[in-house]
């Protein structure tokens, strides 16, 4: 429960708390960009990552709602959903990570998305196809495939 709460606090409230002081001044000025990082993991619930998937799904919806609220104000809201990025966190993943990219490459791609004032982007773009397929799969197919997927152990848990 504590880990779940911490993940939500960081990934959802972190964005809200970071953006909040800037929303009104940007709206009054009539310009600016708010760019939030979500994840492809927010497209479907992943085994062993309930808190992470839920938090990233919430981030995607928060950013979507904020984008609509800012429409016509001159303030751009960009949602970036990275796929797998080679970091110490992903190094622990016991499953295949398609289209994994390095940190520097990811940063360049994300900067290009923000500079292009895109509303929504998946980085790398190939993960957008994977994510879209996952959202279209019927639950019985998704459940059959992903319920057997290897997962990282939770805090304090030993996996044999």
Matching residue, tokens 């911490």: 6
Q: Which of 52, 62, 95, 142 is catalytic?
A: 52
Distance between CA atoms of residues 151 and 153, nearest Å: 6
Q: Check if 52 is active-site.
A: yes
Mutual orientation of helices 50-70 and 14-29 as an angle, nearest 10°? 10
Indicate the SS3 state at residue 140. Answer: helix
Give the ranges where 30-150 is alpha helix by DSSP (H): 50-70, 88-91, 103-115, 126-136, 139-146
Matching residue, tokens 């622990």: 92
Q: DSSP for 25-45?
A: HHHHHT-EEEEEE--GGGSS-
Distance between CA atoms of residues 129 and 136, nearest Å: 11
Question: What would the two tokens of residue 51 be?
Answer: 């808190």
Give the DSSP H or E segment for 123: strand 120-123
Q: Which residues are catalytic?
A: 52
């Amino acid at each position: 429960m504590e880990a779940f709460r911490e993940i939500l606090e960081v990934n959802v409230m972190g964005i809200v708390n970071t953006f909040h002081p800037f929303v009104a001044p940007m709206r009054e000025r009539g310009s600016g960009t708010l760019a939030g990082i979500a994840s492809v993991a927010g497209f479907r619930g992943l085994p062993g990552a309930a808190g992470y998937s839920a938090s990233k799904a919430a981030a995607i919806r928060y950013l979507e709602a904020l984008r609509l609220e800012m429409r016509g104000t001159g303030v751009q809201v960009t949602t970036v959903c990275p796929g797998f990025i080679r970091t110490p966190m992903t190094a622990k993943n016991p499953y295949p990570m398609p289209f994994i990219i390095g940190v520097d490459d990811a940063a360049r791609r994300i900067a290009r998305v923000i500079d292009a004032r895109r509303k929504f982007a998946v980085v790398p773009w190939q993960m957008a196809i994977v994510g879209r397929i996952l959202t279209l799969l019927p639950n019985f197919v998704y459940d059959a495939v992903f319920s057997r997927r290897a997962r990282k152990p939770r805090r304090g848990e030993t996996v044999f």
